[in-house]
C-alpha cells in the first residue's frame, strides 16, 4: 500500500487531521516557516534583480532532518499549510528546503479541518500556486527593504533598537494624526431642551425633545435657549401628529478577521493578538468530549463574508429545527464593496453548527468558550430572519415651537433571539400609545441641559483595525502583528482600551513624515496593497513592484543620512548633580523616553527620572510645569510640586492666564482655550518665533 505524507504547520493541526485518515497516511508538522531572510543582513541581492537570499531558520535543522526521513519513506507528499498567501509560501519553502520531487508532491488546502473538507481537498490536490507565493515574496522583500533601510536612520537620530516597518509606520501616522486632531480640538458649548408631560393612565411621563421653531435647530447657544424657555412659559402643548410604522433590522454578516477582532475588543476586551491566538486554537483543533480532537471554526484569516452552500444549508436546517421555519432568512445577503476579497474565501464560522456552545463548554477554556460562543451566535444569527419593530413617532406643538418623541417595540425578534449586537435602549414606547392626535398635554416640565462638543475619540485596537481595513492598509493577517509591534516598541501606549501616542512614537513619526513622506502616505500604502493583490491574481510581475519602488527609497535614505550627518546629537548636560560621584548628569534616551544618567557609566550607574520644564508657572502654587509620562508612556503636563500640588493636563499649558476666570490657558492648535470648559474663554495664540519668521519672509517675498 502506498505511503502518503502530509505536512502541516502545527502539531495541533496534525493531531486533528490524523483522525480523519487511514494508517497509510503520516501527518507531521513543520512548526511554521522553515526558511526566511537572514536577520543579520538585508538578505536581498540588489545586483541580481532583488533576488531574496533565503536561509534555513536557526533551530530548524533537526526538524528538517526528521522531515527528510519521513519524505524518503513516502510515495506521495501533500503540503497542507494554511489556505492563504503565507501558507502557500510555507509550502513552497518546504518544497525547496526538503528538495521534494515536484512530480510526487501536491498542494492541498481546506478552509475547515473536518473529515469531508480534508478528503475533498485530497481529491482536488494541485501544484504550488506561484502567483500566491510571489505575492508573499513581494510583501516580504518590500517590508525587509523598508525596515532595514530606514531603521538605521532612526538608530542614528534617536537610539538603537527602533524599527520602521512599511505598514506599522502608516498605522503610527494614523494614530499620530488623530492625537493632533484631539489636541487641536476646541469644545463648543450647546444646549438641549426636554419637556416632560404627565399622561393620564401612565405612571411614566412622556419625554419629548425640542426640535425647532418650526424648522430644526441645532447647536443652540445659551442666549438662544434662554429665549426659547422664556417663550414657552405658560404655553399650551398639544399632540399635532402621530405616525405609526414598521422597520426591520437586518441580521449581521458572519465574521471576517477584522470584524471578529473589533467585536472581541468591544465585548470581551480581547487584544487583537489574543483574539487571533485563541481563534487559532479553535481552528487547529481541541479535544471535545465524545468527539475527540476536532477543529471547531473555519480558517481565521479572511476578509470574505461568503458562506459555502453546504454550511448555509446545514445552518438553515438547524435554525428550522431549533427556532422554527419563520426564523430562517428568506435570502442571504453579502458585504458589498469594491475591495478585492482575497486569502481565505469564506467567513469565519463554526465547522459543526450542531455543536452548540453549551455542548462544548466543558471541553474549552474560558477564553476559548467565549470566542466560540461569539462566532457560533453570529453565524447562526446571519442565517436568521431580521428583527421587526413596531414604531411610533409623535409631534408636539406649542405655537411655532416643535417637540418630538419616538419609540419602538419588538414584534418579531428574529436573529435577536440568538445574537444582540448592541443593547436595546428603553424608550417612550408604552406611554406614546396612550396619546391621541389633538390631545392637550399639561404640566410641562422643561429641562435644559448644557453640553460641549466632543473631540474625535482616541483609537482603540478595534477602531484602528476598522480604520486600517477601510483605508485598504494591510490585510487580515497583518492587523494584529502591526498593532502588537507598535505597542511592544513603545511607540504607542495602551491604557484601558485606548491607544495613545508616546513621546518616542511622536519622535519616530516626525522623522518618518519629514524624511520618508511616501512611506507613511496612506494612499501610497493602499496602492501597494492593490499591487500585491495583482501579483496574487497573476496580473503583476512581483519584482516590477520592487524595481519601481526601490530607487525612490534609496534616494530618500541617502538624503536623510546626509541631513542627519549635519546634526551631531550630543548628550545634554544638566545642572542636576549625581549623588554618587558628583558629576553633572546628562539627558539620555531610553525605551520609555528621556531620563537623567551619570556620564561616568559604567563606573557609575546612577539614573533619575527627567522632567522637562516648559517655561510655564503653575497657576495654583507657582511651581514649574513639567512634562511627565504615565507608566505606559503617554505624555502629560503636571506641577513639579506633586503630590502637594495636583495640577495636571493632557494639553500643553500656555504662560498666559484666563482673563475671565484666572485659570490656565491651554494650547489647542492656533488658539488658547481656558482649562475650564464651563468658562468657554478662547483667543488666538500669538505666533512663535518660527511662525513670525515665516510671516516676515512671506511679506518680503510679496
Which positions are annotated as active-site residues? 299
CB 52, CB 35: distance < 8 Å: no
Placement of cell 460562543 in the chain: 373
Evaluate the CA torsion angle 316, 322, 324, 326 in order and state its sign: negative
Measured distance CA(499)–CA(464) in Å, rounded: 9
Enumerate residues 6+ apart whose C-beta is below 8 A from 422. Answer: none
Q: Which helix (H) or strand (E) holds 273?
A: helix 272-284
CB 526, CB 473: distance < 8 Å: yes
CB 470, CB 275: distance < 8 Å: no
Where are the alpha helices (H) located in 307-365, listed in sequence order?
Answer: 309-323, 357-360
Enumerate residues 6+ apart whose C-beta is below 8 A from 325. Answer: none
Measured distance CA(329)–CA(316) in Å, rounded: 8
Evaluate the CA torsion angle 451, 452, 453, 454 in order and state its sign: negative
Q: Within 13 Å of residue 333, how many CA atoms lie on the same side as its CB? A: 10
Measured distance CA(513)–CA(223) in Å, rounded: 45
Pairs from 692-696 (Cβ < 8 Å, separation ≥ 24)? none
Measured distance CA(455)–CA(650) in Å, rounded: 13
Measured distance CA(416)–CA(389) in Å, rounded: 12
The pairing of beta strand 664-668 with beta strand 51-52: unpaired
Torsion of CA 349, 352, 356, 359, to 10 degrees: -130
For residue 369 the three cell numbers come to 468558550
For residue 367 the three cell numbers come to 477564553
Cis peptide before 355 (omega within 30 of 0): no
For residue 421 the three cell numbers come to 449586537
Enumerate residues 6+ apart whose C-beta is below 8 A from 32. Answer: 9, 10, 90
Q: Give the other-Cβ count within 10 Å of 281's Cβ.
A: 21
CB 303, CB 345: distance < 8 Å: no
Residue 403's DSSP bridge partners are: 210, 396
Measured distance CA(390)–CA(248) in Å, rounded: 9
Amino acid at each position: 500500500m502506498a505511503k502518503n505524507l502530509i505536512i502541516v504547520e502545527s502539531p495541533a493541526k496534525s493531531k486533528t487531521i490524523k483522525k480523519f485518515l487511514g494508517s497509510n497516511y503520516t501527518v507531521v508538522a513543520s512548526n511554521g516557516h522553515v526558511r526566511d531572510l537572514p536577520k543579520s543582513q538585508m538578505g536581498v541581492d540588489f545586483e541580481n534583480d532583488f533576488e531574496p537570499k533565503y536561509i534555513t531558520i536557526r533551530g530548524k535543522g533537526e526538524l528538517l532532518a526528521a522531515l527528510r526521513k519521513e519524505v524518503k519513506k513516502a510515495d506521495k507528499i501533500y503540503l497542507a499549510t494554511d489556505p492563504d498567501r503565507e501558507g502557500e509560501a510555507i509550502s513552497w519553502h518546504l518544497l525547496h528546503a526538503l528538495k521534494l520531487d515536484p512530480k510526487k508532491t501536491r498542494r492541498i488546502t481546506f478552509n475547515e479541518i473536518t473529515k469531508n473538507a480534508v478528503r475533498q481537498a485530497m481529491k482536488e490536490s494541485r501544484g504550488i500556486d506561484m502567483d500566491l507565493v510571489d505575492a508573499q515574496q513581494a510583501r516580504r522583500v518590500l517590508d525587509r527593504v523598508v525596515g532595514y533601510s530606514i531603521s538605521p536612520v532612526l538608530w542614528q537620530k534617536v537610539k538603537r533598537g527602533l524599527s520602521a516597518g512599511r505598514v506599522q509606520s502608516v498605522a503610527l501616522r494614523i494614530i499620530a494624526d488623530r492625537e493632533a486632531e484631539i489636541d487641536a480640538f476646541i469644545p463648543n458649548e450647546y444646549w438641549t431642551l426636554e419637556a416632560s408631560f404627565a399622561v393620564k393612565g401612565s405612571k411614566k411621563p412622556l419625554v419629548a425633545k425640542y426640535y425647532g421653531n418650526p424648522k430644526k435647530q441645532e447647536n443652540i447657544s445659551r442666549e438662544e435657549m434662554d429665549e426659547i424657555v422664556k417663550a414657552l412659559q405658560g404655553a399650551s402643548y398639544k399632540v399635532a401628529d402621530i405616525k405609526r410604522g414598521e422597520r426591520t433590522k437586518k441580521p449581521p454578516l458572519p465574521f471576517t478577521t477584522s470584524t471578529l477582532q473589533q467585536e472581541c475588543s468591544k465585548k470581551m476586551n480581547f487584544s487583537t493578538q489574543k483574539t487571533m491566538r485563541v481563534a487559532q486554537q479553535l481552528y487547529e483543533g481541541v479535544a471535545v468530549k465524545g468527539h475527540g480532537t476536532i477543529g471547531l471554526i473555519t480558517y481565521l484569516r479572511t476578509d470574505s463574508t461568503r458562506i459555502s452552500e453546504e454550511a448555509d444549508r446545514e445552518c438553515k436546517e438547524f435554525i428550522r429545527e431549533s427556532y422554527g421555519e419563520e426564523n430562517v432568512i428568506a435570502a442571504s445577503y453579502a458585504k458589498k464593496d469594491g475591495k478585492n476579497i482575497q486569502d481565505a474565501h469564506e467567513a469565519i464560522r463554526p465547522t459543526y453548527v450542531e455543536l452548540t456552545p453549551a455542548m462544548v463548554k466543558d471541553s474549552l477554556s474560558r477564553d476559548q468558550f467565549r470566542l466560540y460562543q461569539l462566532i457560533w451566535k453570529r453565524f447562526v444569527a446571519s442565517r436568521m430572519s431580521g428583527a421587526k419593530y413596531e414604531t411610533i413617532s409623535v409631534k408636539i406643538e406649542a405655537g411655532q415651537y416643535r417637540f418630538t418623541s419616538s419609540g419602538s417595540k419588538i414584534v418579531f425578534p428574529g436573529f435577536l433571539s440568538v445574537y444582540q449586537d448592541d443593547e436595546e435602549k428603553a424608550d417612550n414606547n408604552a406611554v406614546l400609545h396612550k396619546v391621541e392626535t389633538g390631545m392637550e398635554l399639561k404640566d410641562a416640565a422643561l429641562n435644559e441641559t448644557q453640553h460641549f462638543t466632543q473631540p474625535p475619540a482616541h483609537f482603540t485596537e478595534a477602531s484602528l483595525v476598522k480604520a486600517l481595513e477601510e483605508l485598504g492598509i494591510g490585510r487580515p493577517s497583518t492587523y494584529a502583528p502591526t498593532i502588537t509591534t507598535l505597542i511592544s516598541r513603545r511607540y504607542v501606549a495602551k491604557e484601558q482600551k485606548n491607544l495613545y501616542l508616546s513621546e518616542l512614537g511622536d519622535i519616530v513619526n516626525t522623522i518618518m513624515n519629514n524624511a520618508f513622506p511616501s512611506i507613511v502616505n496612506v494612499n501610497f500604502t493602499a496602492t501597494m496593497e492593490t499591487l500585491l493583490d495583482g501579483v496574487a491574481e497573476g496580473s503583476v510581475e512581483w519584482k516590477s513592484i520592487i524595481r519601481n519602488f526601490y530607487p525612490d527609497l534609496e534616494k530618500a535614505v541617502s538624503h536623510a543620512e546626509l541631513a542627519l550627518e549635519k546634526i551631531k546629537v550630543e548628550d545634554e548636560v544638566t545642572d542636576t548633580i549625581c549623588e554618587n560621584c558628583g558629576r553633572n548628569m546628562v539627558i539620555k534616551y531610553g525605551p520609555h523616553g528621556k531620563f537623567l544618567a551619570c556620564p561616568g557609566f559604567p563606573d557609575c550607574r546612577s539614573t533619575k527620572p527627567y522632567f522637562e520644564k516648559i517655561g510655564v508657572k503653575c497657576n495654583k502654587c507657582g511651581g514649574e510645569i513639567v512634562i511627565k509620562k504615565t507608566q505606559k508612556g503617554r505624555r502629560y503636563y503636571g506641577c513639579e510640586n506633586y503630590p502637594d500640588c495636583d495640577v495636571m493636563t493632557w494639553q500643553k499649558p500656555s504662560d498666559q492666564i484666563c482673563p475671565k476666570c484666572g485659570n490656565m490657558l491651554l494650547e489647542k492648535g492656533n488658539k488658547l482655550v481656558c482649562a475650564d470648559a464651563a468658562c468657554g474663554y478662547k483667543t488666538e495664540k500669538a505666533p512663535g518665533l518660527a511662525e513670525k519668521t515665516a510671516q516676515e519672509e512671506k511679506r518680503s517675498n510679496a
